[in-house]
């Protein structure tokens, strides 16, 4: 099965590397600085268990997807529609598209822009790009993907490549579980520029996380999503999910003066809360703080 990764950041590089190590032909589509490094040296894959270089093709053009049987779509949420429109002319009629993105709206946006079905996925991996062509993996890597005619085959292939993958009949549940985790943690880590281990030892921070979770669960209930609505159980799930040394993707974006996905995480809760008449003041406050941090001169390239 030929695989193309659209958006070869940390998530795309991790799953692309795992599949390439298993012998699948993989092409990473990403920024020139990463493509140049991967083309010259291979993708450096650093983890607690290994530090090695993986041979994988890399390209800056979406045309690289024209012969792909499976496309892993891994761009940032704000880039979804534009990247999908660029990709659309090059997709084979029978190619499967798997959205490995944060948030709960990307698969629907992607379907609208591509004019074809898309498989949604909840992604559980802690990783970062430590430099050009250099992936640093901190932990996990499992997926929960939506049901489709291709999902069982894709899950088997990923599982054989060392990526535990479950097919869910109602993928909204794991997508919302992941959204709750992201809303509770990402912005706090980004604003403080601290890993989870430093945050969870501060009592006020843990209380804030519980307030964030409570607001998310109130909105999920109004949306009739069948997730666990108990705040304490959700909080404990998050405590056991995030590695202590992990900076959130939002912290990594802010540190690199890049736009974040705040509008698609806490912002999604704020918008849905307004639609249902549910107050979400803590999510609103964190969304505002991150948006202000994005406006700092360094974040604007000044």
pLDDT at 244: 87
Instruction: Answer yes or no: is pLDDT of 129 > 50.
Output: yes
What's the CATH number where 194 sits? 1.10.1040.10
* Inside any domain, residue 302: no
Number of domains in the chain: 2
Enzyme catalytic residues: 178
Domain match, 108 and 64 both: yes
Helix%, strand%, coil% for the chain, nearest 5 = 50, 20, 30
Q: What is the pLDDT of residue 299?
A: 53
Query: For 184-197, b where at least 16 C-beta lie within 10 A, e where not — what string?
Result: bbbbbbbbeebbbe
Domain carrying residue 21:
3-169
Domain with residue 53: its CATH number is 3.40.50.720
Q: Are both 255 and 204 inside the same structural domain?
A: yes
Residues 136 and 189 in one domain: no
Pick from 169, 190, 225: which residue ends a domain?
A: 169
Q: Are residues 210 and 265 in the same domain?
A: yes
Give the model confidence (pLDDT) of 57-103 as tens digits. Answer: 999 999 999 999 999 999 999 999 999 999 999 999 999 999 999 99
Answer yes or no: do 181 and 151 share one domain: no
| Interval 130-150 mean pLDDT | 96
Residues 43 and 137 in one domain: yes
């Amino acid at each position: 099965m030929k695989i193309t990764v659209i958006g070869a950041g940390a998530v795309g590089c991790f799953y692309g590397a795992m599949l390439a190590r298993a012998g699948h032909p993989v092409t990473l589509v990403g920024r020139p600085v990463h493509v140049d490094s991967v083309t010259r040296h291979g993708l450096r894959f650093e983890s607690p268990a290994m530090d090695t270089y993986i041979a994988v093709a890399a390209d800056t053009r979406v045309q690289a997807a024209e012969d792909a049987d499976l496309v892993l779509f891994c761009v940032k949420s704000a880039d979804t529609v534009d990247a999908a429109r660029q990709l659309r002319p090059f997709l084979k009629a029978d190619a499967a598209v798997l959205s490995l993105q944060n948030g709960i709206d990307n698969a629907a946006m992607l379907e609208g822009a591509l004019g074809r079905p898309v498989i949604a996925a909840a992604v559980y991996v802690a990783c970062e790009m430590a430099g050009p062509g250099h992936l640093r993996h901190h932990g996990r890597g499992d997926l929960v993907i939506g049901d489709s005619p291709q999902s069982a085959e894709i899950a088997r292939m990923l599982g054989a490549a060392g990526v535990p993958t479950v097919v869910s009949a109602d993928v909204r549940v794991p997508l919302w579980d992941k959204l709750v985790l992201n809303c509770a943690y990402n912005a706090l880590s980004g604003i403080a520029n601290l890993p989870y281990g430093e945050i969870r030892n501060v009592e006020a921070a843990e209380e804030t996380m519980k307030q964030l979770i409570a607001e998310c669960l109130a909105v999920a209930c109004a949306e009739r999503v069948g997730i666990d609505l108990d705040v304490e159980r959700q909080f404990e799930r998050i405590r056991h999910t995030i590695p202590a040394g992990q900076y959130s993707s939002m912290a990594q974006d802010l540190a690199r003066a890049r736009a974040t996905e705040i509008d698609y995480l806490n912002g999604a809760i704020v918008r849905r809360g307004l639609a249902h008449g549910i107050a979400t003041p803590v999510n609103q406050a964190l969304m505002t703080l991150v948006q202000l941090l994005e406006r700092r001169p360094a974040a604007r390239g000044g």
